[in-house]
Amino acid sequence: MLSNKQKKKLLKKKHPTTSTESHYIKQMRQYRDLFTDFPSVKFLINNVLESDHLIQSKLLPQELPELLLPDDIQDQIFQTINAKFDKGDPEGDKLWDQLSAALPKLDKALRSYRDYLENQYGMWAYISGPFVKSLANYIGHDAVLEVMAGNGYISKGLKDLGTTVYPTDSLEWVGENQTGKHQVIPIEKLDAIAAIEKYQDQVKYVIMSWAPDKGGVDLDVLDAVRKADNNLKLIVIGEKNGATNSKAFWQRAHFIEPEAAQQLNAHHRPFDLIKDQVYLVD
């Protein structure tokens, strides 16, 4: 039988502490100071810090650029140091060694921003303010149901813009990790199919964001939307044949309104290796 001390150790491993999570932002500030003479690098770091600040302030963040260091960053460092120090100056050599050693760590940190958001805030799909504004414009005066809403970032953003929205989730995952403690809007405890059955006569759109790539709940949602009597439309956010949704879902989905989808994706651009997009489906 585990002692209380052993249980606490296990809990700490399963649920990262706030101080551990916030270490990421402290580290990014240190990198910003270290690379203060390199605007292209500071631009990326500042975007991460501003995004985190807005989410922490209960606001939707800005759009992000692709969080990748410039291909020629080592050349930039070399040229900057040569311009600042005389050849053979030990201070220049020291700075070169310091910056060169930091580059791969910074690169990894930038690529890990999505992981940080998942662990710190339970934000799996990166939902920006401009994207939600375009989504609200597309939905117009109609009502919308969000299934598998997670912590409710999309629903909260839409509600703040005056859209009638019903955020729902089974909430079965809440006890598994810290993300369940960061709901930004009250979430009605309903699984996806029960939610569609309850609200299908009150809404025109159903939003499904970042459905699991295993299991068949996304296909169940697709079937339920198609069986609804009032011609529901499904708004899907995910990576086609990638990190989200089942392969069967992507095979059976019928993509519609490509121009409208393109306009929505103008404010939902990938910032890392996951290339999720907005798809309009019937």
Q: What is the pLDDT of residues 232-265, one digit of tens each?
A: 999 999 999 999 999 999 999 999 999 999 999 9
**257 and 140 share a domain?**
yes
Q: Residue 57 corresponds to which tokens in the numbers above?
A: 């302030």
Average pLDDT over residues 9-28: 58
Domain end point (choices 70, 92, 121): 121
Question: Residue 155 burial by CB count (10 A; 0-12/13-18/19+): exposed, middle or buried?
Answer: buried
Average pLDDT over residues 187-213: 97
pLDDT at residue 133, as a whole number: 98
**164 and 58 share a domain?**
no
**265 and 160 share a domain?**
yes
Q: Are strands 233-238 and 277-281 parallel, antiparallel or unpaired?
A: antiparallel
Picking from 139, 147, 150, 127, the residue whose alpha carbon sits closest to that of residue 222 is 147
**42 and 106 share a domain?**
yes
Cα distance between residue 125 and residue 116, in whole Å: 12
- Indicate the pTM of the whole model: 0.87
Between these two residues, 82 and 1, which has the higher pLDDT value? Answer: 82
Confidence at 6, pLDDT banded by 50, 70, 90: very low
Question: Residue 278 burial by CB count (10 A; 0-12/13-18/19+): exposed, middle or buried?
Answer: buried
**196 and 269 share a domain?**
yes
pLDDT at residue 224, as a whole number: 97
Average pLDDT over residues 71-81: 94
Question: Domain of 26?
Answer: 4-121
Give 95-147 as a DSSP string: HHHHHHHHHHHHHHHHHTHHHHHHHHH---S---HHHHHHHHHHHTTS-EEEE
**20 and 93 share a domain?**
yes
Instruction: Confirm if 99 and 4 have CB atoms less than 8 A apart.
Output: no
**What CATH number did the domain enclosing 138 receive?**
3.40.50.150
**164 and 234 share a domain?**
yes
Domain end point (choices 121, 137, 163): 121
pLDDT at residue 182, as a whole number: 79
pLDDT at residue 179, as a whole number: 57
